């Protein structure tokens, strides 16, 4: 006798998989719409907006999407729903999605480790792939944490961070990282030809998930995270200094070994640049020995597109795994 799960899998093999997007009119939601529409196995079941309900927009590639109100969509018409709603609003909608019997990928911070006591799979794909495969609910990581934790991953996993020390992260993001809600400090005149730090004081909301992940890896180290605003639309560059347990002659080999065969991780010798990762679902990483220091220390640089690997792209990568599909389907490498 076939289980409901097996019946669903057989159905998906014969038909396209209906996908819903909550918060589709936002920056992450728009990229999700474009990815779902070009995905060979997905079809768009619904795309919601709040104030912009009823609007039709043209996406890159020419397809048009009309946004509907979230209260007007039958959530059960989708097999999987992406929630690209703001923090605070998202968790409640994800619960409604789950109650309707659909799988969910939540792009907000609401359900990420460090922000909830619930045991929800953290969707840092290359680190948690086995848990993501077949999961019903995945909390997609934040954009900065994706760039930072992926850059640090080999050192965290192999216990190479010197115990009791501090990992120092200075990272910069393009303005789409702040979402579409209009703000005076994000006006063109305020950001263009300018570069500044924000979230000073080591209390940015992304720190809780990064601290929780570092602790999950069994690493005893502090994190200092200072974000900066880039005068560009998209892209994140994270610059990290990591005190290590002992000198490493060829640090890049660590990243090459950990990520070999990973389709979306690029290990490079030259410093990664945001333009090399724009509109791509990749993390580009390099690592170097820092000289003239008493404590052996590595410099790690990591670049992503905050809306792709930092949001919509990683969410689709996770959805592919949740639905038993090839992880790379529909994603720009």
Ligand X SMILES: NC(=O)c1ccc[n+]([C@@H]2O[C@H](COP(=O)([O-])OP(=O)(O)OC[C@H]3O[C@@H](n4cnc5c(N)ncnc54)[C@H](OP(=O)(O)O)[C@@H]3O)[C@@H](O)[C@H]2O)c1
**Segment near ligand X (CB under 6 A); pick from 101-109, 151-159, 238-246, 283-291:** 101-109
User: Which strand (E) or helix (H) includes residue 56?
Assistant: strand 56-58
Site for ligand X in 27-66 (CB under 6 A): 27-29, 49-52
229 touches 172 (CB < 8 A):
yes
143 catalytic per annotation:
yes
Of the two residues 154 and 305, which places its CB atom closer to ligand X in the complex? 305
Of the two residues 107 and 242, which places its CB atom closer to ligand X in the complex? 107
Tell me how far apart the terminal alpha carbons of the chain are, to the nearest angstrom: 40
318 touches 137 (CB < 8 A):
no
User: Which strand (E) or helix (H) includes residue 251?
Assistant: helix 251-259
Shortest gap between Cβ of 84 and ligand X (angstroms)?
A: 4
Angle at 323 between CA 317 and CA 325, to 5 degrees: 65
**Segment near ligand X (CB under 6 A); pick from 1-9, 33-41, 122-130, 305-313:** 305-313
* Per-residue x/- track, 308-327, ligand X (CB under 6 A): --xx----------------
Helix, coil or strand: residue 31: helix
Of the two residues 41 and 96, which places its CB atom closer to ligand X in the complex? 96
Of the two residues 4 and 56, which places its CB atom closer to ligand X in the complex? 56
The catalytic residue among 75, 124, 143, 322 is 143
User: DSSP string covering 139-182, please?
Assistant: EPPPHHHHHHHHHHHHHHHTT-BPTT-EEEEEEEE-GGGG-SS-
282 touches 236 (CB < 8 A):
no
256: how many CB neighbours lie within 10 A of its CB? 15
How far apart, in whole angstroms, are the C-alpha atoms of residue 286 and residue 267?
A: 6
* Per-residue x/- track, 65-84, ligand X (CB under 6 A): -----x-------------x
Contact between 133 and ligand X (CB under 6 A)?
no
Shortest gap between Cβ of 96 and ligand X (angstroms)?
A: 11
Shortest gap between Cβ of 69 and ligand X (angstroms)?
A: 8
**What is the size of the binding site for ligand X (CB under 6 A)?**
32
Site for ligand X in 166-205 (CB under 6 A): 176-177, 179-181
Contact between 232 and ligand X (CB under 6 A)?
no
Of the two residues 140 and 286, which places its CB atom closer to ligand X in the complex? 140
> How crowded is the C-beta side of 278, counted as CA atoms within 13 Å?
11
Of the two residues 176 and 286, which places its CB atom closer to ligand X in the complex? 176
How far apart, in whole angstroms, are the C-alpha atoms of residue 122 and residue 131?
A: 8
Query: 53: Cβ–Cβ under 8 A, 6 or more apart, which residues?
Result: 67, 68, 69
Contact between 107 and ligand X (CB under 6 A)?
yes
Binding site for ligand X (CB under 6 A): 23-29, 49-52, 70, 84-87, 89-90, 107-109, 142-143, 176-177, 179-181, 306-307, 310-311
- Catalytic residue set: 143
């Amino acid at each position: 006798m076939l289980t409901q799960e097996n019946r669903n899998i057989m159905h998906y093999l014969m038909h396209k998989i209906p996908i819903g997007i909550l918060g589709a009119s936002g920056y992450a939601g728009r990229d999700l719409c474009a990815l779902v529409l070009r995905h060979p196995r997905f079809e768009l079941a619904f795309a919601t907006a709040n104030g912009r309900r009823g609007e039709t927009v043209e996406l890159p590639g020419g397809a048009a999407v009309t946004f509907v109100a979230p209260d007007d969509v039958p959530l059960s018409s989708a097999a999987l729903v992406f929630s690209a709603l703001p923090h605070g609003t998202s968790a409640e909608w994800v619960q409604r999605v789950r109650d309707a019997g659909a799988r969910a990928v939540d792009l907000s911070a609401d359900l990420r480790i460090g922000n909830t006591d619930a045991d929800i799979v953290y969707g840092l794909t290359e680190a948690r792939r086995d848990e993501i495969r077949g999961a019903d609910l995945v909390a997609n990581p934040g954009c900065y944490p994706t760039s930072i934790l992926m850059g640090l991953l080999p050192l965290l996993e192999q216990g190479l961070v010197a115990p009791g020390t501090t990992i120092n992260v200075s990272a910069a993001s393009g303005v789409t990282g702040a979402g579409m809600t209009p703000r005076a400090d994000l006006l063109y005149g305020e950001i263009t030809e300018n570069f500044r730090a924000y979230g000073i004081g080591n209390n940015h909301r992304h720190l809780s998930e990064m601290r929780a992940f570092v602790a999950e890896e069994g690493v005893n180290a502090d994190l200092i995270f200072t974000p900066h605003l880039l005068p560009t639309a998209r892209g994140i560059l994270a610059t990290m200094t990591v005190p290590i347990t002992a000198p490493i002659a060829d640090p890049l080999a660590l990243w090459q070994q950990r990520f070999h065969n990973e389709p979306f991780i690029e290990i490079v010798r030259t410093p990664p640049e945001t333009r090399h990762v724009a509109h791509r679902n990749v993390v580009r990483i390099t690592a170097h020995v820092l000289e003239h220091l008493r404590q052996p220390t590595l410099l790690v640089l990591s670049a992503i597109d905050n809306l792709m690997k930092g949001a919509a792209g990683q969410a689709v990568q996770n959805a592919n795994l949740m639905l038993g599909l090839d992880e790379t389907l529909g994603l720009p490498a």
